[in-house]
Structure formats: structure tokens, C-alpha cells
Structure 1
Amino acid sequence: MSPTTTGNYFTYIFFLSFITLTLALTWWAARRQSKGASGFFVAGRRLSGLQNGLAISGDYCSAASFLGIPGIVALFGFDGLVYSFGLFVGWITIVLLVAEPVRNSGKYTLSDIMAFRLRARPVRVAAAASSITISMFYLLAQMVGAGVIASLLLPISPNVAIILVGALMVTYVLFGGMVATTYIQIVKAVLIVGTTVLLSVLLLQRFDFSLDHLLQAAAADSGKGDRFLEPGLYFTNKLDLISLGLALLLGTAGLPHIMMRFYTVPDAVEARRSANWVIGIVGLYCLMTTILGFGAAALVGHESIFAANKAGNSAAPLLALQLGGGPGTLGGDALIAFVAAVSFATILAVVAGLIISSASNIAYDLYSQVLRRGRGDDRSEIKVAKGATVAVGLVAIVLALEAQSLNVAFLAGLAFAVAASANLPVVLYSLYWKRFNTAGAVSALLVGLVSAVALALVGPAFMGPKGIVWKDAAPLISLMNPGIISIPLGFLAGALGSLLTSREARSEATYDDLKVRSLTGFGAEASEAGH
């Protein structure tokens, strides 16, 4: 039985069990959540720091990392470490600068903190455009991952798998809101971290728990020798390495689906506690996925990984197959089926969080705060959010069907670049610069967004022989990730937009109010009473 077409009872049992569990959680959450907008968008702000930390970890440890990082490490060695450790260090920015201020200053979305001091309508429109774009790139990464898993294990095509994931994620959000999304993410966090630890232990056991032996074997079987353990195989351009590192370091604090989770806890203390839990969980996870990448290089081999999926997204499942005993063995079939099912659960959990984030941007920012000028009621907001859930799901499915040749870690890296270029400058300037005004905010959001997307479109991922759109055209820039250019542009646009336009009396007058609220929580949104 080929590892690329394995289909057995284990596969069906694990997949159906996880899908049944998540649907049961959705049904339970639909009965449990409060009926207002707060219940739908932020689970009534009743989660503990541990619960939210697990949920954020489940949201953050995505298919892009579980499939993409081992794939890049297995194919390109040392350079893949930039993705794994970049995901971890991004949390330092959150803990030090934004976790508590965001919880204290906002209500449902990251746009709340951006619009606190400024003219709300133009800022919310630009912020919603940026946040939805970020969520869409991240959604594509998860949906492409679903196609990879399906092609490995299920008797359905990748296209059918993408459509199935889209239908399930819409169902979770429509009926369960943030409560269902949260508990699905908690279950998924436990599963994904437990799985990576289990696989790492089984792997290291093969090499007498010696990392040195593992790395030597990985280099020997990579076909690249010692170069496999040195920089330069993937990032032939050093600027690309720096660019991605910047995006991962700074982008986490601008990811809308991650930052809105800080509104689900009752106060800033629990927000910081959430972030602290995430650091431990994500740190362990990133270390394990790196080890799995080198293990895949050593035990599966470059040729087998590349043959199954040219972007390397099949490395982790194929490693599980080898660790279980190989193709056709009971242990191999069981372990790859379990890992694939966990990967699928990972995808479902993350896409649910992304969908509810995008729906919040549309229903709360655009509909309630812009079109209705803040006069929207809970009932209409939830109705619009559910309509937006269906619309975003359909768009994500269509785009994912066209993006299957891209590495999922690359797509996630692009989302980080947009977040660091557009959202982060506005959040930091709003919190820490009194002179900042509406023109600066809109400039930063639009310049950061447009420059990041435009630079990606004219780079080698979309143009040239490896591009997915213009294969016959030479790329205009050599950068895979645009962060090194677009991030400074976003910050510069925010500064120049503020300095070259007139001062805003309201913005400067409310700066101290925002400062007090962000630091003390005085006036912050309160959690709801019990169910």
C-alpha cells in the first residue's frame, strides 16, 4: 500500500471521530453560549487565562506550521529553522507590548484600539480591509493543507477535501460562535502538542536520543551533505532570510484572529496569563516540529517527500508512517492515520478562528460601526456575521483551489508580513505616540497592505517558473517574503501621514484616556455574568 494512497479503517475511524467530536462541541456550545453579540464574538469574556492560552495555542499552531515547517526543514535543512523559531519569538512582542493594552482598550476586534482616538469610520474601513486580507492568506494556508492530507490518506481528491473543510468551518461558526471555536481549539492544542511530542520521542529513540546522530543522518540522506546543516539552501538571498524573520517577529502582534482572543478573558491579568501559557506551549511545539523535519529528512528522504508533495507539506505524515513501521504495517497505517486526523483537526480549529475573525470585521467594524454609525444592535450584528461567515467561506474555498502548489508555511509567512506592515504600526502608534492621527493610521494601513501584497505578487512565488500565476514572466523582485520592504514602508507611512497633516485635537486629547485605560483597565469592557 503506497504511502500516498493509504486508506484503511484507522483513517476512517480517526477522521470520523474527530469530526463527530467537533460537531458535538458545536452543538454543546450553541446551547451554552449567551445570545448577545458578546457571546458570539468573544465568548462573553469568561475564559480563564489557561483556557484562553490553550485556545490561542490551538489557533496559532496551525497546519501551516505542522505540515509546512517539517517540510521546509526536511527539504532545505537549517533554513527551515527561521519559520519555527520565528513563530516563537513573535510572542515576545505580544507579552511586552500589546497583550494587556489590547484587552483593556477594545471590545471585539483589533480595529477598536486603532479607532479609539481617531475618526472611526475611515480607520475601521482600512483596518477591516487589512485584517480580512491577512485572514484570507492564513485561511489559504490551512485549506491547502487540507488538500495535502486528503491526497495522502482519503479516497477523495484534494479539491473535495478543501470544499469539505470549508463546509465544516462555516458550520462551526454559524452554530457555535466563539464558544465552539474556543473548545475546538483547546482540544486541538492538546492533540497537536501531544502528537508532536509522541512523534519526537519515537524518532529520537531511533537515534539513541542523540540529536547529533539525528542531524548527521539527516544531512547524509538529504543529498546535500553538510550544506544541509548550513544556511543558504532555501534562502539563497540573505535579504529573504531577514525579511521573513522580521515578518514573523513583528507580525504575530498584528494577526487579527490571534489578537481578538485577548477579548475573551475578563481582564488584563488573564490576558497576560494567556500569553505566558502560549509562550510555553508554542515554544515546545516549535522545537518538536523542527526535530520532526530533520527526522523526515533522515528516515523518509528528500526524494520520497518531494514526490508526494513538491512543497514538502507531506513530510510529517510520511515520517509518522515510517515511525509506525512503514507502509502496509499495522503500526504504520495506524500512526499516519492518527497524525493525518490530528492535522485535519488542526485545520478545522484554525479556520474556524479565522472565519469568526473575518465575520467580526464585516459585521462589527463595517456594518455596525461604519454603515450604522455605531447604532447596530446585537441581533442585526449576529445576523450579518453569519451571512459574512458563509461568504468568506465560499471565497476561501475558491481561492484555495487555485493555490495548492504553494507551500503552506510560505502563505502563512505572507500573512505575517501583511500583519506587521499594516496592523502593527497603527496599534503601536495609537498606544505610544500622542501626535498620531487619522491620516497616519489610514496611510499606514493602506501602504502596508498594498505594498506587502503587491511585492508578493511580483515576486518568485507568483511570477517565473515556480510561480502560480505568471510562469512565463520574470519576477520583478527576488524576495519571497516582502517584509523587509513593506514593514518599514508601513511605519514610515504612518509617521509621515501624521506629521504632514494637521494635528487632531480629539486624538491628542484622548491620548491620556487611552493610556490610562490600556494600562489600568479602567473603563474596559467587562465580562458577562454566568450562563
Structure 2
Amino acid sequence: MTGNHQTLALLLFSAFVAVTLGITTWVSRNRHGSAEEFYAGGRLFSPMENGFAISGDYMSAASFLGVTGLISLYGYDGLLYVVGFLVAWLVVLFLVAELVRNCGRFTLADVVAARMNERPVRIAAGTSSVTVSVLYLVAQMVGAGSLVALLLGGSSEAARNWTVIGVGALMVIYVSLGGMRATTWIQIVKAVLLLSGSIALTVLVLLRFHGDVNELLRAAAERSGHGDAFLAPGLKYGGDWTARFDFISLGLALVLGTAGLPHILSRFYTVPTARAARRSVVWSIGLLGGFYLMTIVLGFGAAAIVGPETVRGANAAGNTAVPLLALDLGGGANSAGGTVLFAVVAAIAFATILAVVAGITLASSASVAHDLYASMRRRHAKPRSEVAVARTAAVGIGVVAIALGLLARDLNVAFLVGLAFAVAASANLPVLLYSLFWRSFTTRGAVWAVYGGLVPALLLVLLSPVVTGSPDSLFPSVDFQYFPLQNPGLVSIPLGFLAGWLGTVTSAEPPDEAKHAETEVRSLTGAGAV
């Protein structure tokens, strides 16, 4: 990119970072240091504010960069991500949101441990939550690196690596100083910016084709080099049985994974009541529905206007399709309009990444402090001690995410998020649903459900083409690929549910009927909820 692109984009990056650091500093001066303030923002947010924050938390680099890139490269098959990401919220609305708000306090483990032997359940759920969060963070790091590589013309590997390190450092600062309140306002600002930018780009794409969506699709099919096959299923997930099962596996992971994501579940504790949590989800569904409809237009717009070959040439995984589209819509590489629009979109994408990593880091550090530390070290740790541990944990999680982000820099961010969703659906969703709806569920069942989904999911990923055995693997020169699917959800999700059932029916401990009755009343009515 030209010097003008770099200068303007860096100025806009700096402006957003300055604003968000200002919010964080202001909040840190007005906080009370309590666990409720740090983990849940004092439970003071309205449904609309929380709905925007949830949207900001969910509209990650996977949505803005990865999904549009996949649509521009694979056409119809890229739509699977859009459908999966959106349909998942119906599961959250009808099965999870209100009940989680009533039963828990800060984390997923609070819900499960309410009627179980607390220590082993908290350790298992905390371990799973941290694992899912780190996987999700890696995707955001990869998105940040891809964005800056495009900005600098792809020539500076050092700059790309330093960007990943810088994003990690910023997320630690946001979480350590501002907690949930600062993170929430950063996400609200980011959601407004991202929706505004998406609307502007969508309008420009439709104007380019005179509002004729059919013309847009025809142009995308012609430019793709695949003809009508670009608009039909099978370009990416057609062919042999492996690709077809990968399609099913990914769909299951996307639809079921959202309800098990720690940073999404933690957002339901930032509102005062369960009714507010439910209304927050309704707000987020409306905002996300509009956004994902726009990503379809942007993905096919990138295919029609920029072309898959150009997109792939800038980034093999397609992560830079939207910035390249903005550059063309603004008038091209050497025009003032192209420079401004590219810089604005790049800054919005960078803001997206910063806001999402802050939310994920907060959720994972809360799991470390509230679940793992409180269970393994000091079962009755003081709230201020927990908060101090959470701030320290944010640093450690940031270091791990940075290292993995540098390793996985050539993978598509939407694909990486799909792996995180698969692990969440395998380990967190079974134990959550069993705890809420199965009267006979036991402590052994809860622990087995978590590890019975988590361990197979991670093991299958290690043995899959993602890690070794293909030119696109993390380690292409090594081959210990024994599992043919790229996404483990088709196998690991049923295993998580099966392990929970098996652990319960083989458990010697009788289910605590009184605790279940108390949990059931609390989940349905909110009586006794924090």
C-alpha cells in the first residue's frame, strides 16, 4: 500500500486506541475494586447497551474479515458461516440466556457448580473455558496480523509480528485496568463503528451494480472462474465424503458453539435481571442479523469487484477481502477516496479485533481467578484477591495467545473460530444443558461431560490436516494426520454428551433432589438470583 494509506490508517488506529485507553483510564479511576465490578460491571447495563456490547463481542475478525473472505473465494459454501453464526443465537435465546443469568454469578462454572460438588466441577469448567478463550483469541491475533501485512504491502514480517504482540499488550491493559465496564463500552463503540462501516460499504457495492443483486451475483460468478458452480453448494465442501462430513461438522460446531462460549455467557451477568438478559439477546439478534446480511453482499462484492485471485494474492486465506474491496470502491489504490475508505475500513477492522480480544481475555481471566484459583488455592478467597489473580492471569493468557497467533498466521480467521466453537460445543454445552435440565445429573457426570468433550476435540484437531499432513497445515513438513476432518465437532460434540450421560449413570453418588429443585426454581423464576 502507498504511504498515504499507511499514514491515514495508522492515524485512525491511533485515534481508536487513544479513545479506548481514555475510556479504560476513566473507568479505572471510578471503580470500587470489587469482584462484581470487575467481572460484571456492577450489573448496571441496560438491555440495549448490553445488546450492542454482545454484538460487539460477537462480530469478531472472523465475521468481518474471515467470513467475507471465504464467500469471496468459495461463494455459496462461504454462506455456511453466516447461517451458523446467526442461527446459533436462537439456541442462546431459547435455552441459555435467561437460565444462565438466574443460576450463575460470573462464570459458566457458577451455573454447573450450583448443584454439584463444587471443587472438581469448577476446575473442569474453568480449564475448558480458558482453552476455548485462547483458541478464539488466536483467530483475532491472526486477523490483526493479516490486516497490517496488507497495510504494509505484505513485505514486513517483523511489522506483522509486532502487531500481534501490540494487540496482546493492549488487551491486557484494557482488562487489567478497566474490567468489564471498560470492556463493555469499548465493545459498544466498536459495534457502532463496525455497523456504520458495513452499511456504507454495502450501499457502495449495491450502487456499483445499480441495486441489482442478480447482476452482483452474476458478476461474482463470472469473475470467480468457476461460473455457476460459485453460486451452488460444493465448491469447498463438495466432492469426496471427507469434505461433506467436514461441512456437517462445521455446521454443528457453529450452531451449538455460541451457547458454550465463555465471553458470551459472561455478558448475561452484566444486566440486573433475567428479563434484561433475554431482551439483550433480542437486541443482539437484530443487530447481528443485519450485519450478517451485509457480509453476504460484501463477500460477493469482493468476488465481483476485486476478484478471488487478487484477494488470494494479498492473503491466501482471504482475510483481506473487505479492505481490498473498500480500496476499489473508493476509487482505486492511487485515489484520495480509495486511500480514505481503505484506511477507515482497516481502522474499523482493527477496532473490531481490539474490542473482541478484550472481552475474551476478561472471560478467560475470570475463569482462572474465580474458578481455578478459588478452587485449587483458596476455596474461600477474598474478592479483591480474586481480582488481583484475574489481572495477573490476563497477562499469561495474552502471552499464550500471542505465541499461538504468530504460529497460525496463515490460516483463515473464520476457520480458526470454527475450531473454538467446536471445542465450546463439545466441552461446555453438554455440561451446561445437563445441569439446567437433567434432574439426575451428578458431579461425576459434569466432570466427565467437560473432559469427555474437551480432550477428544483437542486431540482430533492435533491429528487433523489443520496441524500436519497438508500444504496448508501449521507444520506442513511433518505428518501425523490420522483424523481426516478439519473440524472435530461431528465426533467430539456427541462424545461430550455421551460422556456426561455415562458418568452420571455409573456414579455412586445419589443426585441431590433438594439442590436440583432449588436450582430449577431459581433458573425459571429468578428467585435468589444475584
**TM-score with structure 1 setting the length:** 0.96
The alignment status of 1:174 with 2:176, answered yes or no, reads yes
Q: Measure the CA separation in 2 of the matches of 1:6 and 1:243.
A: 44
The residue type paired with residue 445 of structure 1 is V
- Report what 1:235 is aligned to: 237
Contact 2:250/2:487 (CA < 8 Å) preserved in 1? Answer: yes
Q: Secondary structure at the match of 2:5?
A: coil
Q: Measure the CA separation in 1 of the matches of 2:63 and 2:48.
A: 22
- Report what 2:390 is aligned to: 385
The residue type paired with residue 207 of structure 2 is Q
**Deviation of the 1:369 alpha carbon:** 3.6
2:518 to 513, 519, 524: 513
- 1:472-517, Cα deviation, whole Å (9 max, x unpaired): 42632221111111111100110111012224343x3211100000
Q: Measure the CA separation in 2 of the matches of 1:98 and 1:6.
A: 48
2:203 to 187, 197, 201: 201
Q: Secondary structure at the match of 2:467?
A: coil
Question: Structure 1 113/293 Cα, relative in aligned 2: closer, same or farther at 3 Å?
Answer: same
2:312 to 302, 306, 324: 306
Q: Secondary structure at the match of 1:228?
A: helix
The alignment status of 1:473 with 2:479, answered yes or no, reads yes
- Report what 2:189 is aligned to: 187
Q: Secondary structure at the match of 1:98?
A: helix
1:359 to 359, 365, 379: 365
Question: Structure 1 382/472 Cα, relative in aligned 2: closer, same or farther at 3 Å?
Answer: closer
The residue type paired with residue 93 of structure 1 is V
- Report what 1:529 is aligned to: none
**Deviation of the 1:461 alpha carbon:** 1.4
Q: Measure the CA separation in 2 of the matches of 1:178 and 1:334.
A: 33
Q: Secondary structure at the match of 1:40?
A: helix
**Deviation of the 1:63 alpha carbon:** 0.6
Question: Structure 1 471/232 Cα, relative in aligned 2: closer, same or farther at 3 Å?
Answer: farther
Q: Measure the CA separation in 1 of the matches of 2:77 and 2:224.
A: 14
The alignment status of 1:450 with 2:448, answered yes or no, reads no
The residue type paired with residue 185 of structure 1 is Q
**Deviation of the 1:470 alpha carbon:** 4.8
The alignment status of 1:220 with 2:222, answered yes or no, reads yes
Q: Measure the CA separation in 2 of the matches of 1:501 and 1:310.
A: 50
- Report what 2:497 is aligned to: 491
Contact 1:462/1:471 (CA < 8 Å) preserved in 2? Answer: no
Q: Measure the CA separation in 2 of the matches of 1:15 and 1:286.
A: 24
Q: Secondary structure at the match of 1:429?
A: helix
1:276 to 278, 282, 293: 282
- Report what 2:82 is aligned to: 84
Identity of aligned residues (%): 54
Contact 1:33/1:43 (CA < 8 Å) preserved in 2? Answer: no
- Report what 1:405 is aligned to: 410
1:160 to 141, 144, 162: 162
Q: Secondary structure at the match of 2:74?
A: helix
1:112 to 98, 107, 110: 110
**Deviation of the 1:43 alpha carbon:** 0.2
- 1:68-102, Cα deviation, whole Å (9 max, x unpaired): 00110001111110101110000000110110110
**Deviation of the 1:456 alpha carbon:** 1.4
The residue type paired with residue 29 of structure 2 is R
Q: Measure the CA separation in 1 of the matches of 2:385 and 2:476.
A: 43
Q: Measure the CA separation in 2 of the matches of 1:163 and 1:474.
A: 30
**Deviation of the 1:122 alpha carbon:** 0.7
Contact 2:38/2:387 (CA < 8 Å) preserved in 1? Answer: yes
**Deviation of the 1:131 alpha carbon:** 0.6
The residue type paired with residue 466 of structure 2 is A
Q: Secondary structure at the match of 2:529?
A: coil
**Deviation of the 1:35 alpha carbon:** 2.1
The alignment status of 1:326 with 2:332, answered yes or no, reads yes
**TM-score with structure 2 setting the length:** 0.96
Q: Measure the CA separation in 2 of the matches of 1:471 and 1:301.
A: 31
More off after superposition, 178-187 vs 14-23: 14-23
Contact 1:102/1:262 (CA < 8 Å) preserved in 2? Answer: yes
Contact 1:34/1:44 (CA < 8 Å) preserved in 2? Answer: no
- Report what 1:501 is aligned to: 507
- 1:403-431, Cα deviation, whole Å (9 max, x unpaired): 10111111100111011111001111001
- Structure 2 unaligned segments of length 5 or more: list them: none
Q: Secondary structure at the match of 1:464?
A: coil
2:256 to 234, 250, 257: 250
Q: Measure the CA separation in 2 of the matches of 1:281 and 1:64.
A: 16
- Give the 5 Å matches for 1:119-158: 119-154=117-152, 157-158=159-160
Q: Measure the CA separation in 2 of the matches of 1:6 and 1:163.
A: 24
Q: Measure the CA separation in 1 of the matches of 2:4 and 2:249.
A: 38
**Deviation of the 1:6 alpha carbon:** 6.6
The alignment status of 1:55 with 2:57, answered yes or no, reads no
Pairwise CA RMSD of aligned residues?
A: 1.3
Q: Secondary structure at the match of 1:510?
A: helix
The residue type paired with residue 268 of structure 2 is F
- 1:117-150, Cα deviation, whole Å (9 max, x unpaired): 1111111111111111100110000001000111
The residue type paired with residue 434 of structure 1 is R
Q: Measure the CA separation in 2 of the matches of 1:238 and 1:205.
A: 36
Q: Measure the CA separation in 1 of the matches of 2:50 and 2:190.
A: 13
Contact 1:173/1:356 (CA < 8 Å) preserved in 2? Answer: yes
Contact 1:166/1:393 (CA < 8 Å) preserved in 2? Answer: yes
- Report what 1:345 is aligned to: 351
**Deviation of the 1:33 alpha carbon:** 2.7
More off after superposition, 466-475 vs 363-372: 466-475
Q: Secondary structure at the match of 1:7?
A: helix
**Deviation of the 1:370 alpha carbon:** 3.7
The residue type paired with residue 457 of structure 2 is A
